[in-house]
A and B are shown apart, each in its own frame.
Chain A
Amino acid sequence: MSQADNLAALGSNVNASGVLQPASGGTGVTTSTGTGSVVLSSGATLTNATINGAVASGFTLKNRIINGDMVISQRGTSFSSLGSQTYTLDRWVCDRFGGAATATVTQSSTAPTGFINSLLYTVGTGAATGATDYSNARQYIEGLNVADLGWGTASAKTVTLSFWVRSSVTGTYGVAFTNNGYDRNYIASYTISSANTWEQKTITIAGDTSGTWLTTNGTGIRVIWDLGVGSTYSGAAGSWGSTYAIFGLTGGVKLTVTSGATFYVTGVQLEQGSQATSFEWIPYGLEFDLCRRYCEVYSNPNLNYDQDGFPQAIQAVDVGGRGETLITYYPKRASPTITTLNNNLFWQNMANTGSTCTFAGTYVGTGIIAAPVFLTVSGACAVGALSGVGSLIFTNVANKIIISAEL
């Protein structure tokens, strides 16, 4: 009889003190055939333990999804008339491409216990999904943030995706994992059992040992929720494939078919290992900073005041020539795109000689930090008003400057 058999023969309780020690040369103690849990009593501690492949004490920043709890939304809280690649809540892109269906996205305050926000995808007019139509919600994860997973190598690590979801349409949905080149893909399925009820879903997939998965500042992993992906871009669930551009589930629910259908998602977490652990709460400010690597929005609510008491959102420094340099707060993933909306801004210089001017962002250098961003004047502006050091003033809530280095 082995030692293990001896232990089993002791019955349901084993009382011991000292050290539970693997045999010399052994690899550890496992529950190789059991399916139950190992439960620690209240107050018990794990020391130097690893759980789910990670050191227990190192469980911070385990979530590869940024803004998985949907609390950051710099661009606004409602996004109408979705098109292809519409940036919505921070780090979340939504599509409504092809066909006659319409959809909107909202940062919703409807959320399951423990959360305060969700991403709400609402179908306006439903319509059949054409073969090349696609509607989805997705996040592209930067390669630098998944480099340790080793995808594309023999040592690719298993990951687990967990999220809370609520939909007015029940059935089996798809969620896809693809690489930057769209030539590696895995479609997973999950089932929403009850309409308009929050349910948590967990999906574990083995890491891909093939293909090219970027570990740079490009797209590492795409995670795409199928809300209406056509047959051209859909495939079967449950295995890695190399067919180009497959990111929907064949036979899955296509939400955009149904007028007025709603789909909420929040608490999204992608982590290494085969178990879904609790959602990682991180301070709001830290999450905001993580988002700012990809986007910063300057708008009226950001107003503060300069030394002359004038409201200002951005400190601009005259560099001569035709424009002003815009200082950004946070280094970007890549040289950012500067988008100006309703861009009649008021330039107030230190001599209190001001003028309303039309500004457009122009990127004039290379690099990811602040200085090269350049605001040029494209409208009439009082001569001399732009001289010296001054401030840009947003004159109404529609004024925005979006600095984006999204994937």
Chain B
Amino acid sequence: MKNIFALICGAIFGMGLYKSGMTDTTKVQGWLDIFGDWDPTLAFVLGGAIIPMTITWQLTKKIKKPVLANLFPKKPEQKISKSLIIGSIMFGGGWGLSGLCPGPAIASLSFGGWQGLLFFFTMALGMIMTPNIENWFSKK
């Protein structure tokens, strides 16, 4: 059952990404181009997504547990770590260069051409490499 709902949620998420324009890299780069030809669309996307989610988080305080699981995910320790900051700066740089973040990179696989496939597999490679990179840094 969980897997079926995961499939459905993934499909709805993908449709939202496509409808909103998040899979269009020119719109994403336009949103980041605040001193050039700024495109405010993504503010509406983020705002639109946060509205239902804010209500849902409040709702999780009232109901005891998710329908198919035992508990809601706990808020992780609110530590602003070096890896959070460095990782976010790296991610933002990559996001600006191509206009793709992980969700839209996956959602556009069926129509993104060889460029999208190259991006996806290189991104996955980076994800596989990350634990080793973290180990290497922690040994220094």
> Are A and B subunits of one complex?
no
B residues sitting closer than 8 Å to A (CB atoms) are none
A residues sitting closer than 8 Å to B (CB atoms) are none
